[in-house]
Structure 1
C-alpha cells in the first residue's frame, strides 16, 4: 500500500511513504501521522491507534521534538505537516526506517526493498563500495546514515529528519545523545545505601511495572542465558508475580550457560526449554528458504543478520511450545549501559584527544581494519561525523562520545537489531533494559562506578546462583596472557577459534565447511569471530542478487 501526501500549494508531489507489510508492529496511519511501535508515558502503555492519537495530542501542545523526547519506548514516526515532513526513530533505531531522494520526491519506507524497486532503473541495484568496505571491517554494521546501496539512507538512532517542502531541503539532528550529565556527587555511604535503593526503584518498581502492564497477561518468553542481564529480566517478572513465563536456552546441554539457565528458571519456578544446536542444525538450516529470507529481512543492507537464536525461535514455534501472541523479552543491553564497554583508557586518563578517541573507537568496532582498502583517515572522519568535536576531551566527555557511537552503531544496528528474529516469526518483543529511566540512571553515574560494571554487580550481588559473568581461574589466566604475552595471545586465539568449529556450544561455525571456516579464520585474523562468517556469507548472497 502506498500512501501519498501531496503539497497542493506547490502542485507537485514532494513526498511518498510506502507502508511496508510488517506482520509485527504494523503501521497505523491517522490524519497526518504514520506510526509503528509502542511507548509509555507516566506508566500508561500506548500502541496502535491509541499511540497515534496520543502523539497527535502531544505534538499540538509541545511540538515534534519535545514529543519524541517524552516518549519512553520504541517506534518509528512519519509526520506530514503542511509545510514540513518529519520522520524519526526512537533512541535505539528499534524499527529501521529508510529514505531516498529522487529528483523532487522523497521516498520513505521501513522496507528498504520497496525503495530499491522504485529508485533503481530496471531493478538494478547499485552498491556503495565504500559502505561495503566498511561493512567488511566492522562485520556488524554500516555506520552513520549510509546503507550498502547508493542513494538510499537510514534514519539513525535518536535522529529526526526534516523535509522542508518549499525548498525541497533535508536537515538532520539528534534529539537524543547518551551523556553523563548532572553527575551525582556520591560518597561511599551513598553508594552502599541510597543509590541501590534508587536502582531497585527504577528497575523493579517503575520499569518492571510498565513491562508487566504492557504484556496484559500474554506469555513472556525469555532467552535465558547464564549472564546477569537475562537473569534481571526473570527477576523483574517474578517481582511482580508474573508467572506466565517460558524460558529457553540453546546450544550444548552440558555447557555452563545451559546449566545455569536451567537453575535460574527452576529458582523462579518458570517453565524451561532447551534446544540443541549441532552440525546438522546449521547444515539443514542454511539450505532452507526461510533462513535465506530472514537474512534479507534481518540485514536490510545495513547490518549483519543476527542468527544466534534463529533456530531456537523457529523450533519453539514449530513445536507449538509458545503461543501465537507471546512476547519475547531479551536482556539487551544491560551490560553495555552498566559500563562493560568502558576501557581503562578512560579511567586512567584525565584527557583524551580527538585522534586517540577515534583510535579507541576503531579498536573496539573495526576489528578487521588491517584488511581494508579504505584510508584510515576516511574511517576516522566518518566516525567523528556524529560526535561532538573537540581537540581535547575530559575522561567523562570522551566516554560520552565513545558510548554514543557504540549505542547508535553496534547496539542499534546489531545487538538490538536481533529482535528482527522475533518479528520475522510474527512475535512482538520488549527491551526493558533500554527503558529511558534506566538510561538516565546509568548516565548519572560517574564512569569509575560503571567501569567493569562495578555498581551493577554490587547492586545485584545477593544472587544465589552462579553466573557466566563470575571470575574463574580460566578467565584470569587467559586475561593475563591477553594483556602480558602478545605472541601467545595471537597463537592461542587462532587455536581456540579453530577448535570452536567443533567444540563451541552453539556449533554455529558449522554453517560452513571446516575448510571454509579455516579460510575465513585466516582471512579474518586475530580478531576473527562467527559474525565475520555471517557477514561474508550475507554479502555473497547479496552479490548473487546484484550480479556481482
Structure 2
C-alpha cells in the first residue's frame, strides 16, 4: 500500500521533491538529509532510520516517501507533531481527519483529554487517527505502518561521577546547547520570556555570558505581580532591555470569543491536547506595536524544572514502593483536572493503560530508582511532549521562529542519566547554578512569587481571619473560591465567575475549564462539570 503525504501549509515546514523522494520536514535540515539518504539507498528499516537521525543535534520532524517506502519520524521530544492513519501521514491532524473522514470519537482518548488535558499513547480524540509519540518513527512497507520507538527517557547508564564532575558536565552541556541556539539565531534578535524562576534566568544569563548582544526579555501577567518585579531586577542586572505586558481579563474574554482563537485552537491542538495559550496574547500585542521584530527567535525556559528532577514526587523516594504507589503519583499529577471524573471505574481503566504503556506488572515491587524513571518517562512522553512543548505552536501561529535549548538532545541525554538522589528537588541543578552564580543571580537570590497580586492581595486579610476563627479547612475553601481573582485570572475570565464558582470544588485549575470547552467544541463530551 502506498502512503499519501497530506501537507498543510504550516510555519517552518518545507516540501522537497527530487531523486524520486518526496519530503515534508521542519527543523534541523540534517534530519531531512539523513532520511532522504536512507530512502535513496533503498535501505529503509526502523534501525537504519534511527541511526540516521541519532546524531542530529537540532529539533526536527520528517515525513518522506520514496518509490516503495514511506516513513515519518519525530525527534526525541516530539517538538513538532506528526499524525497518521494506515494509508496517510500529515503535519496537521485536522487535515488528515477531514481527508480520511474520521468522525468516530475515540472514547478512551476523550476520557484521557477530560481527565488530563492530553491524549495518551498514539491515540487522538478520533478513532483510527494516530499521533507519533516522542522519539518514534513510522515505516510503511506493507498494508499498515510499523511504529518503532528509537529513543526514550529511561536511564541508559546512570552516572557514578562525583558531584563536582556532574556539575562540570551539566554546565558544559548548557554551554553547548546555548551555543547551538546562538548559531541558529545567527544574529537575529533573541527574545526570552523572563519569569522569577531559575530556567529563563539561567538562559538569559548564559546568552549574556556568551556575548550575544541582540537580546530582549519580556514578562507578562497581572499588573503588580511578583514575577514582574523579579524579572525587571534580573534584566537590569544583566543589562538586557526588558518589557512588561499586563494581561487583562477583558482582553482574554474578547479573544476567547473570537474566530482567531478558534483558528488558533485548530492550528495547535493536534486533536490530542488542549492548546497552551502561554504568551500568545502578549506576543500578539508586541508584534502589533512593532516592538517585537518579525525575525525574532523566541527562547523560553521550558522545561528545566522537569528535566533536572523538579517534578519527582516525594512519595516515590521511599524504599517501600509498589506499582500502585507509582500509579497514584501519576494520577495525582496528570489525571486530576476534575475530581468528579476520578471514579473507580475510570481509574481502573487508566491504571491498566498506564501499566501497559510503561510495561509494569501490577503485582511486582518497584525499587525507588526504577519507579522514578518510569514516572519521568510517562511525564516526558505525555504532558511534556504533548502539552508543554506544544506551546511552541504559539510562536508558529504568529509566524515566529523558536529554539528550545533546555530540550536540546545532549541536554536531555545528560539529565536522564543523573542519579535520582542528585535530581530530587533539583539538587544538582540548584548547586551547579549557585556555584556558577553569574552576576550574583543564583546564590542567595530566590524571588518569592505569590499567587495574589495587586488588589487581589486583599483576599489575604479575610483568609487570615477565617483561619483564626473557623480553622484552616474553611480558610482553604474560601481561597479556592477566590482563585478566579488570582494569578490566572485571565485564564478563568472567558468562563465568568458564576461558572467558576459552580465548579470551584471540582476543578483543579484553568486547564480544567479549557479542556472541557475544547472537547465540547470538537463536538464531543468528556462528562465533566
Which TM-score tier does this pair reach, normalised by the shorter chain? 0.7 to 0.9
Instruction: For 1:383 and 1:38, locate their aligned partners in 2 and report how far apart those are by CA, in whole Å.
Output: 31
Q: Give the Å deviation of 1:54.
A: 4.4
Q: How do 1:64-143 and structure 2 match up within 5 A? A: 64-101=49-86, 106-120=87-101, 125-138=103-116, 140-143=117-120
Instruction: For 1:169 and 1:489, locate their aligned partners in 2 and report how far apart those are by CA, in whole Å.
Output: 58
**Superposition RMSD on alpha carbons, in Å?**
2.7
- CA 1:66–1:494 in structure 2 vs 1: closer, same or farther (change >3 Å)? farther
Q: Secondary structure at the match of 1:125?
A: coil
The equivalent position to 1:53 in structure 2, one of 11, 14, 33, is 33
- CA 1:401–1:254 in structure 2 vs 1: closer, same or farther (change >3 Å)? same
Residue 511, structure 1, aligned to residue 494, structure 2: yes
Indicate conservation of the 8 Å contact 2:309/2:424, yes or no: yes
Match for residue 313 of structure 2? 343
**Bigger Cα displacement from structure 2, 144-153 vs 339-348:** 339-348
**Bigger Cα displacement from structure 2, 267-276 vs 418-427:** 267-276
Q: How do 1:185-264 and structure 2 match up within 5 A? A: 185-186=160-161, 190-191=162-163, 193-204=164-175, 206-264=176-234
Q: Give the Å deviation of 1:392.
A: 3.0
Match for residue 452 of structure 1? 425
Indicate conservation of the 8 Å contact 2:194/2:219, yes or no: yes
**Bigger Cα displacement from structure 2, 70-79 vs 215-224:** 70-79
Indicate conservation of the 8 Å contact 1:277/1:505, yes or no: no
Q: Give the Å deviation of 1:356.
A: 3.0
Indicate conservation of the 8 Å contact 1:157/1:412, yes or no: yes
Indicate conservation of the 8 Å contact 2:31/2:56, yes or no: no
**Bigger Cα displacement from structure 2, 410-419 vs 352-361:** 352-361
- CA 1:427–1:472 in structure 2 vs 1: closer, same or farther (change >3 Å)? closer
- Ranges in structure 1 where 5+ consecutive residues have no aligned partner: 1-12, 40-46, 479-486
- CA 1:294–1:489 in structure 2 vs 1: closer, same or farther (change >3 Å)? farther
Q: How do 1:439-478 and structure 2 match up within 5 A? A: 439-461=412-434, 462=437, 464-465=440-441, 470=446
Q: How do 1:371-520 and structure 2 match up within 5 A? A: 371-372=341-342, 374-390=345-361, 391-461=364-434, 462=437, 464-465=440-441, 470=446, 491-504=474-487, 507-520=490-503
Residue 364, structure 1, aligned to residue 306, structure 2: no
Instruction: For 2:443 and 2:17, locate their aligned partners in 1 and report how far apart those are by CA, in whole Å.
Output: 45
Q: TM-score, normalised by structure 1?
A: 0.84
Cα distance per residue 1:476-522 (max 9 Å; x no partner): xx9xxxxxxxx977655543332232232653211221101112323
Cα distance per residue 1:71-125 (max 9 Å; x no partner): 2222212233454432121111111111123xxxx111111111122222xxx83
The equivalent position to 1:529 in structure 2, one of 490, 509, 512, is 509
Match for residue 133 of structure 2? 156
How many matched pairs?
495
The equivalent position to 1:174 in structure 2, one of 139, 146, 149, is 149
Indicate conservation of the 8 Å contact 1:25/1:428, yes or no: no
Cα distance per residue 1:14-46 (max 9 Å; x no partner): 21111111133334444425242323xxxxxxx
Instruction: For 2:127 and 2:256, locate their aligned partners in 1 and report how far apart those are by CA, in whole Å.
Output: 29
- CA 1:488–1:36 in structure 2 vs 1: closer, same or farther (change >3 Å)? farther
Q: Secondary structure at the match of 1:145?
A: coil
- CA 1:174–1:151 in structure 2 vs 1: closer, same or farther (change >3 Å)? same
Match for residue 285 of structure 1? 255
Indicate conservation of the 8 Å contact 1:18/1:108, yes or no: yes
Indicate conservation of the 8 Å contact 2:69/2:140, yes or no: yes
Indicate conservation of the 8 Å contact 1:96/1:155, yes or no: yes
Q: Give the Å deviation of 1:316.
A: 1.1
Instruction: For 2:89 and 2:111, locate their aligned partners in 1 and report how far apart those are by CA, in whole Å.
Output: 26
- CA 1:384–1:250 in structure 2 vs 1: closer, same or farther (change >3 Å)? same
Q: Give the Å deviation of 1:55.
A: 4.1
Cα distance per residue 1:189-223 (max 9 Å; x no partner): x31x332222211111x112111111011111111
- CA 1:15–1:489 in structure 2 vs 1: closer, same or farther (change >3 Å)? farther
- Ranges in structure 2 where 5+ consecutive residues have no aligned partner: 452-459, 461-469
Indicate conservation of the 8 Å contact 1:250/1:506, yes or no: no
Match for residue 25 of structure 1? 13
Q: TM-score, normalised by structure 2?
A: 0.87
Instruction: For 1:469 and 1:35, locate their aligned partners in 2 and report how far apart those are by CA, in whole Å.
Output: 46
Instruction: For 2:416 and 2:11, locate their aligned partners in 1 and report how far apart those are by CA, in whole Å.
Output: 35
Q: Give the Å deviation of 1:369.
A: 5.8
- CA 1:496–1:299 in structure 2 vs 1: closer, same or farther (change >3 Å)? farther
**Bigger Cα displacement from structure 2, 66-75 vs 400-409:** 66-75
Higher strand proportion (structure 1 or 2)? 1
Cα distance per residue 1:239-281 (max 9 Å; x no partner): 2211111211111232110111111111222121111112222
**Bigger Cα displacement from structure 2, 245-254 vs 24-33:** 24-33
Q: Give the Å deviation of 1:371.
A: 1.3
